[in-house]
Amino acid sequence: MQREGSEKALFISLEEIRGRQEVSRKMARDLGMDALIVIGGPFYDRPGNLAYLTGHYPPFPSVDFQNEYRGLGFGVFILPVSGKTVLVADTEAYRKERIAVDEIRPTRNLPTTVRSVLADLKLNTSRLGFVGLQVAPWALVNEIMENRGTIESADSILRKLRRCKSPVEIALLRKAAEVAEIGIKAALSAIKPGMTEAEVCAEGIKAGIAAGADFVRYLRVLSGPFSGWPHRWPPATERVLQEGETVCMDYIGAVHGYQFDILRSSVVGDGDMETRRLIQLASEATEAAIKACKPNVSVREVVRTADRIIDQAGFLQYRAKFTGHGIGLDTVELPFLMADSEDVLQPGDVICLEPGILIRDKKGARFEYEIVITQDGSELLP
């Protein structure tokens, strides 16, 4: 058992983070940019670009811009193609020992402080590439630029770098998957007639946090007719589980910043032959997709492999539209596993495979596992 007050965990080294910065600098220079402005959101909601290049996770939730409180919940990293790096953080409560930057400037007014940093680094008239435009609020970006010049995206740089996971990243994702399995098994054990979705959810979240999760973003427990839905708000309700119906559970969170995302399906009690067959079919579709995953195999072929299993059983019209996705510092990353994708799998990809059958308002079944693409095949996580 870990001793009180101690912290034993695997983290990305400062050296690895600085190495990422140097590669990013070269790529930015090749694009003719003078600096990257990297923006990340709160630790639980798309901090990936910022965390990848600094090691910092904004700890505060994002809030409305009011008076001098502007940009809370976000962090901004200024990475010149050469020279000093600066992190603008919305708090003084940061983990300095894990952050690989030359200077940290805490503030409650991020855009004003970013403009000050750009002036200090003599970058206020330079060509800037923004990373994280899909994450950053318009008000933050607009105030950083003060309506001058063109806002240019450099997201392609981080998309390429973040997709291929390093050995330490894979180890962290493996640990996250281990924690997820503990949590989902606890939830599966709680599935009994008379239990509510919320009670099942509580058991899974409790087990995941106890096993080492930073947080569980949600454990979606969809029972009965809702098991045929891809998602629903709220994720778990007071609905009472009934004998013989299906339950689909989607478990998402993070361990040491790296995400987990798995799905499992079960039946309440024994269930009839049709229900058990549906669950078995969904499991077989995922297993087939996993076996199809190898380097240089097209995403389209992986999707087709799962679809063939579902089609042969006569359920193709009910196939889940999303077969899978990459995972890392954010829950959903490249590649997207969709039927019209032109992408191919690459060594270092870590992906979640989740084909399934969803019969809206009746029943459904899905199984989602995480795998890493290796040089000669794939490996199941954990």
pTM, 2 dp: 0.94
pLDDT digits (tens, 9 = 90+) for 43-65: 999 999 999 999 999 999 999 99
Domain boundaries, the chain: 14-163, 167-381
Q: Average pLDDT for residues 341-369, to the nearest whole number? A: 97
Using CB atoms within 10 Å of the CB of residue 296, give its burial: 0 to 12 exposed, 13 to 18 middle, 19+ buried. Answer: exposed
Range 167-381 classified under CATH 3.90.230.10: yes
Decide if 14-163 and 167-381 have a common fold.
no
Q: What is the share, in percent, of the chain residues with pLDDT greater than 90?
A: 94
pLDDT at residue number 365: 97
pLDDT digits (tens, 9 = 90+) for 126-169: 899 999 999 999 999 999 998 777 899 999 999 999 999 999 99
**Distance between CA atoms of 308 and 72, rounded to whole angstroms?**
48
CATH number of this structure's domain 14-163? 3.40.350.10
Can you spell out the DSSP letters for 159-214? HHHHHS--HHHHHHHHHHHHHHHHHHHHHHHT--TT-BHHHHHHHHHHHHHHHT-S
User: β-strands 86-89, 75-80: how paired?
Assistant: antiparallel
pLDDT grade, residue 10 (50/70/90)? confident
**Distance between CA atoms of 104 and 229, rounded to whole angstroms?**
45
Burial 322-356 (b: 16+ CB within 10 A, else e): bbbbbbbbbbbbebbbeeeeebbbebbbbbbbbbb
DSSP state of 310: H
Task: Give me 155's structure tokens.
Answer: 């997201």
**Distance between CA atoms of 253 and 259, rounded to whole angstroms?**
6
